[in-house]
Every structure is written in C-alpha cells, then in structure tokens.
Chains A and B, each alone.
Chain A
C-alpha cells in the first residue's frame, strides 16, 4: 500500500517568504508527527496530531511555525517569514496511534537563501 508522502521534495525560498509543506499520511493512521532534522542531528520533534487536533505542539520553535490537519488526514506545516536558520529537512510520520511504530515520509528539504 501507499506509504507517507510529502510534497514538495525540495523547496528553495528567500528569507522572509512564506512556505507550506504538505504531508499525506498512511490511510487510517490517526497519529501524525512533524519533525525537523538538521545536519548531524537526530529528528527534532515539532508537533503531534491525534485526529484533527494538535495534541502536543511543544516542539514548534516559535510562532512563525504553525500546522493544521483539518480533516484528520493530510497535514500542512506552515512557516511564516522564513529565516536562514529554518533550513532543514522536514519529516512527517504517521502511525495507527501514538504508541505504535511510526512510518516516515521521504521529507522535504527546505533551503532558505
């Protein structure tokens, strides 16, 4: 079956611009996670959705970052006024529920010039 997909695979933008990153989870997975991975680091937790609601957004670095999952399936991570420090690989993962193994998408590589 289809795995987790993320679009775009690469995004280059200029400092100060707004970007949206999309995640399509595995069908039926209620839990969805966003992570950010910088070179040499493990994935850094950003936000966790259970269904449509953000159950834990404690990892969002500041109020420029926001994520939605309006119908409990596809999720969009939104970054306003991008900064060069936002450059990273943004990973999405989904699981049957919060206790199960997570299946990761291929990531979106964001580069802010």
Chain B
C-alpha cells in the first residue's frame, strides 16, 4: 500500500507571497502522480499528471516537480492570489488511486 503524505496540513499566506507544499511517498512503484485543486463546494480539478523522475509541469503561476528517487513532489504557487485558496490534493495512480489528505491553502488579501 502506498501511503501518500502531504505537508503542511494547512497554510496561510498573504496575497503576493510565493508558497510551496510537499507530497511524499515511500515508493516509486506507481504509474503517475496527480495534483488536484479542490475548492469548497466544487469538484476536484486536475492540475498536473506527472510520470517521470525529473518531470516539471507549469500552468500559469502554478508549477510542480517530481522526484521519484527521493520520493516527493513539490507544488509551487508564485505570487499567491485569494482565488488560489483551496485544498491541494496529491494522488498516486497505481492499480488504484491513493490520495493524500491535502494541503489547505488560504491566501489573505
């Protein structure tokens, strides 16, 4: 069983700050790592799908990296905005999908 750990559990930043959070996993035995953004009362929205060690993906102010050898992925948000406030979920796609508990980000104006 792949246990997916996310840290921190919650994060409060000021508008304009850049921030990052971590998804860690004990084994590289998975097909892909997914990042999702989940706003309250909405469906989780896919951000990135990453498969290879060293993968780097970017979408606007948000980017992610994957290091399968050391067992982590980072999600970065540059110049946080209040609309970035959400829970960011990491999941490993193997035969099933294992989600972490998420990092709840609050961006204060």
Contacts and interface: CB of A to CB of B under 8 A. Distances in A.
Given A101-B46, A103-B46, A104-B43, A42 B95 contact: no
Nearest to B34: A101
A99 B43 CA distance: 19
A99 B42 contact: no
A48 B99 contact: no
A10 interface: no
Nearest to B99: A42
A4 interface: yes
Given A40-B101, A106-B43, A107-B43, A99 B96 contact: no
A62 interface: no
A42 B36 CA distance: 11
A90 interface: no
* Nearest 6 Cβ contacts at the A-B interface: A42-B99, A101-B46, A104-B43, A45-B96, A104-B44, A42-B101
Nearest to A45: B96
A42 B101 CA distance: 4
A20 interface: no
Interface string A79-103: 0000000000001010000111111
Interface residues of B, number: 24
Contacts of B42: 106
Given A56-B96, A58-B96, A43 B89 contact: yes
Interface of A: 3-4, 33, 35, 40-45, 48, 55-56, 58-59, 91, 93, 98-107
B44 A43 contact: yes
Contact of A48 (B6, B45, B49, B96): B96
Given A4-B43, A100-B49, A56 B95 contact: yes
A41 B89 CA distance: 10
Contacts of B36: 104
Contacts of B100: 42
Interface string B79-109: 0000000000101010111111110000000
Contact of A45 (B6, B49, B51, B99): B99
